């Protein structure tokens, strides 16, 4: 794709994302009915859950891109894996911040070491470590291999986070859509918010991958400049 077409696509995607986010805010804060027990506080759920789902998808993208890099040794897969890991860390940070803000007035504590909360925190720390590990290996190819192996191993925790509330007794609410605990009138708001977060993920991935492409260009120019001396 030529740079002009890419710029145009970014503009369209940015406009779509802005519209989707405004709609998500409207649905979450105004359209969705007020929950009987928690009142307006329950509305945190409309951004908390989509951020969690999108974060797990980002880590899945990191997992498959890491595998692809280990098989094909093409640096573009490493760039994709890095972008996905970084965005996953951002989304999970949203989950780990909004969760305790909801929990304090409902559970009367900011945090508790329940299986879901603990496994989610461990997952976040694993991918923060993934990002840090990359800074300690200077050679780009060795760095990419180390990161890919780390990414594949770290992903083991993602299914544990997803299934923790299904496998173990947990203070964390059960999966609302599967259990039917979410009122039908609340579902459109949740789906719109999930859609908006998916779009946000695609938008951020494009921005972050283009940053990695620029970084590879810099590396290439550096090596050409060094050879020319």
Partner 1 sequence: MESERDIMGPNPMSYLFAAYAAVWIILAAYLFSIHARKKKLRREIERLKRRLDPGT
Chain contacts with partner 1 (rule: CB under 8 A): 29, 37-41, 43-44, 47-48, 51, 87, 90, 93-94, 97-98, 101-102, 104-106, 200, 204, 207-208, 210-211, 214-215, 217-218, 221-222, 224-225, 228
Q: Which is nearer to partner 1, 70 or 209 (CB)?
A: 209
Please report how close the Cβ of residue 67 comes to partner 1 at its closest, in angstroms: 25
Q: Which is nearer to partner 1, 63 or 203 (CB)?
A: 203
Q: Which is nearer to partner 1, 67 or 98 (CB)?
A: 98
Please report how close the Cβ of residue 22 comes to partner 1 at its closest, in angstroms: 13
Dihedral of CA atoms 18, 22, 24, 29 in degrees, nearest 10, equals 160
Q: Which is nearer to partner 1, 16 or 67 (CB)?
A: 16
Q: Minimal CA–CA distance to 146: which of 60, 69, 56? A: 69
| Positions of E strands within the chain | none
Please report how close the Cβ of residue 32 comes to partner 1 at its closest, in angstroms: 12
Please report how close the Cβ of residue 224 comes to partner 1 at its closest, in angstroms: 6
Burial (0-12, 13-18, 19+ Cβ within 10 Å), 217:
exposed
CB 134 within 8 A of CB 149: no
Pairwise CA distance, residues 60 & 43, whole Å: 27
CB 83 within 8 A of CB 209: yes
Pairwise CA distance, residues 170 & 37, whole Å: 19
Burial (0-12, 13-18, 19+ Cβ within 10 Å), 81:
buried
Q: Which is nearer to partner 1, 2 or 180 (CB)?
A: 2
Q: Which residues lie closer than 8 Å to 44 by C-beta, 6 or more apart?
A: 98, 101, 102
Q: Which is nearer to partner 1, 181 or 218 (CB)?
A: 218
Please report how close the Cβ of residue 39 comes to partner 1 at its closest, in angstroms: 4
Please report how close the Cβ of residue 144 comes to partner 1 at its closest, in angstroms: 18
Please report how close the Cβ of residue 156 comes to partner 1 at its closest, in angstroms: 26
CB 42 within 8 A of CB 185: no
Q: Which is nearer to partner 1, 39 or 159 (CB)?
A: 39
């Amino acid at each position: 794709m030529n740079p002009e077409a890419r710029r145009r696509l970014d503009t369209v995607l940015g406009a779509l994302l802005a519209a989707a986010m405004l709609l998500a805010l409207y649905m979450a804060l105004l359209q969705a009915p007020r929950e009987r027990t928690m009142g307006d506080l329950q509305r945190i759920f409309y951004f908390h859950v989509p951020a969690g789902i999108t974060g797990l998808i980002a880590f899945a993208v990191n997992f498959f891109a890491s595998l692809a890099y280990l098989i094909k040794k093409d640096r573009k897969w490493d760039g994709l894996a890095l972008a996905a890991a970084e965005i996953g860390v951002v989304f999970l940070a949203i989950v780990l911040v909004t969760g305790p803000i909801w929990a304090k007035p409902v559970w009367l504590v900011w945090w508790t070491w329940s299986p879901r909360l603990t496994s989610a925190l461990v997952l976040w720390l694993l991918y923060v470590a993934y990002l840090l590990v990359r800074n300690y290996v200077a050679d780009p190819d060795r760095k990419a291999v180390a990161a890919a192996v780390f990414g594949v191993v770290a992903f083991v925790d993602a299914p544990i986070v997803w299934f923790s509330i299904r496998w173990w007794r947990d203070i964390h609410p059960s999966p609302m859509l599967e259990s039917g605990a979410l009122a039908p009138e609340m579902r459109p708001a949740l789906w719109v918010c999930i859609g908006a977060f998916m779009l946000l993920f695609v938008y951020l991935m494009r921005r972050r991958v283009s940053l990695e492409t620029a970084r590879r260009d810099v590396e290439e120019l550096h090596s050409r400049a060094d050879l020319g001396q």
